[in-house]
Amino acid sequence: GNSVTQMEGPVTLSEEAFLTINCTYTATGYPSLFWYVQYPGEGLQLLLKATKADDKGSNKGFEATYRKETTSFHLEKGSVQVSDSAVYFCALSLGRSGGGADGLTFGKGTHLIIQP
C-alpha cells in the first residue's frame, strides 16, 4: 500500500538555525506530494506541494523538492523563527487517475520547537 515516513521528533532548534525534516514515501504510482502544517488548536494548512518529479514547492521560506529516484520530499528552511513552531505533516495523494483515492495519506507528523 501507500505510506509516508517522516521523523517524528520533537525536533528542537534555535532561532535562525537551518531546518531539514526528512520525508520518504512508498506509492504504487506517481503521487502528488504535500507538506501541511498544524499550529496548536488549529486545523491543517497547506504549506507547499509538488505534483511531479523534480518539481520544487516553496512557501514562506520553506522548500521541498520531489525526488522520484529517492522517493523523498524533504522539507527545508534556511533560517527558522519561533513562529515556525508547529507540527509538520508530509502527505501524498494518488488520485483516482493514479489508481488511488483523492484522500491524503499522511506521515505521523514532526513536532518542531524553535527556541529564541
Partner 1 sequence: DSGVTQTPKHLITATGQRVTLRCSPRSGDLSVYWYQQSLDQGLQFLIQYYNGEERAKGNILERFSAQQFPDLHSELNLSSLELGDSALYFCASSVMPGASTEAFFGQGTRLTVV
- Interface residues toward partner 1, by CB under 8 A: 31-32, 36, 41-46, 49, 51, 89, 93-98, 100-109
Smallest gap from residue 116 Cβ to partner 1 (A): 27
Smallest gap from residue 28 Cβ to partner 1 (A): 13
* Cβ distance to partner 1 smaller for residue 13 or 104: 104
* Cβ distance to partner 1 smaller for residue 14 or 83: 83
Q: Tell me the C-alpha to C-alpha distance, in Å, between residue 84 and each of 12, 13, 15, 53, 99.
A: 11, 11, 9, 27, 35
Smallest gap from residue 80 Cβ to partner 1 (A): 23
* Cβ distance to partner 1 smaller for residue 23 or 107: 107
25: left (phi over 0), alpha (psi -120 to 50) or beta: beta
Q: Would you call 74 helix, strand, or coil by DSSP?
A: coil
Neighbour-count burial of 33, counting CB atoms closer than 10 A to its CB (0-12 exposed, 13-18 middle, 19+ buried): buried
